[in-house]
Amino acid sequence: MLFNSAAFILGFLPVALIGFFVLGRLDLRRSAILWLGLVSLVFYAAWDIYNVPLLLISIAVNFTVGRRLARRPSKALLIIGIALNLGALFYFKYSEFTAASVAQLFGWDLPHLNIVLPLAISFYTFQQIAYLCDTYDGLTDDTSAPNYFAFITFFPHLIAGPITHHKELIPQFQEPATFRPQRTMISVGLTMFLIGLFKKVILADNIAIYANQIFDAAAQGQILTVTQSWAGALSYTLQIYFDFSGYSDMAIGLGLLFGIRLPFNFDSPLKASSIIEYWSRWHITLTRFVTAYIYNPIVLRLTRRRLAQGKSMPKRGRMDGETFAVLVAAPTMTAMLIIGIWHGAGWQFAAFGLIHGIYLAINHGWRAVAPRSKRDGAPTGRAFAVPSILLTTTCVVIALVFFRSHNVADAVHLVKQMFGQSGVLYEDSYLFTKRQTMLLAGLLAIVWLCPNTQDWLRLFPTGIGSVRRSAWFERHNLLLSATSWRPSPSFAVIVGVIGFFALAQAFSSAPAEFIYFNF
pLDDT string in tens for the chain (519-residue length) = 899 999 999 999 999 999 999 999 999 999 999 999 999 999 999 988 999 999 999 999 999 999 999 999 999 999 999 999 999 999 999 999 998 888 888 888 777 778 888 999 999 999 999 999 999 999 988 789 999 999 999 999 999 989 999 999 999 999 999 999 999 999 999 999 999 999 999 999 999 999 999 999 999 998 888 888 999 999 999 999 999 999 999 999 999 999 999 999 999 999 999 999 999 999 999 999 999 999 999 999 988 888 888 777 766 556 777 788 888 999 999 999 999 999 999 999 999 999 999 999 999 998 877 655 444 444 455 667 889 999 999 999 999 999 999 999 999 999 999 998 776 555 554 555 778 889 999 999 999 988 899 989 988 989 998 877 666 555 555 556 667 888 888 899 999 999 999 999 999 988 999 999 888
| Contact predicate 158/95, CB 8 Å | no
Residue type, 183: R
- 255/17 Cα distance (integer angstroms): 11
- 149/143 Cα distance (integer angstroms): 10
101-123 burial, b at 16+ Cβ within 10 Å, e below that, comes to: eeeeeeeeeeeeeeeebbbbbbb
| Contact predicate 397/355, CB 8 Å | no
Q: What pTM did the predictor assign?
A: 0.93
Dihedral over Cα of 116, 118, 120, 125: its sign: negative
What positions carry a catalytic annotation?
343
The residues pairing with 266 across neighbouring beta strands, listed in sequence order, are: 282
Which residues have CB under 8 Å from 41's CB, separation 6+?
Answer: 52, 55, 56, 153
- 218/236 Cα distance (integer angstroms): 13
Residue type, 476: H
- 433/209 Cα distance (integer angstroms): 12
- 198/447 Cα distance (integer angstroms): 14
Peptide bond into 162 cis (omega under 30): yes
The C-alpha R_g of the chain, in whole angstroms, comes to 24
Dihedral over Cα of 318, 320, 325, 331: its sign: negative
Residue type, 456: W
Q: Domains of the chain: which residue ranges?
A: 6-181, 185-518
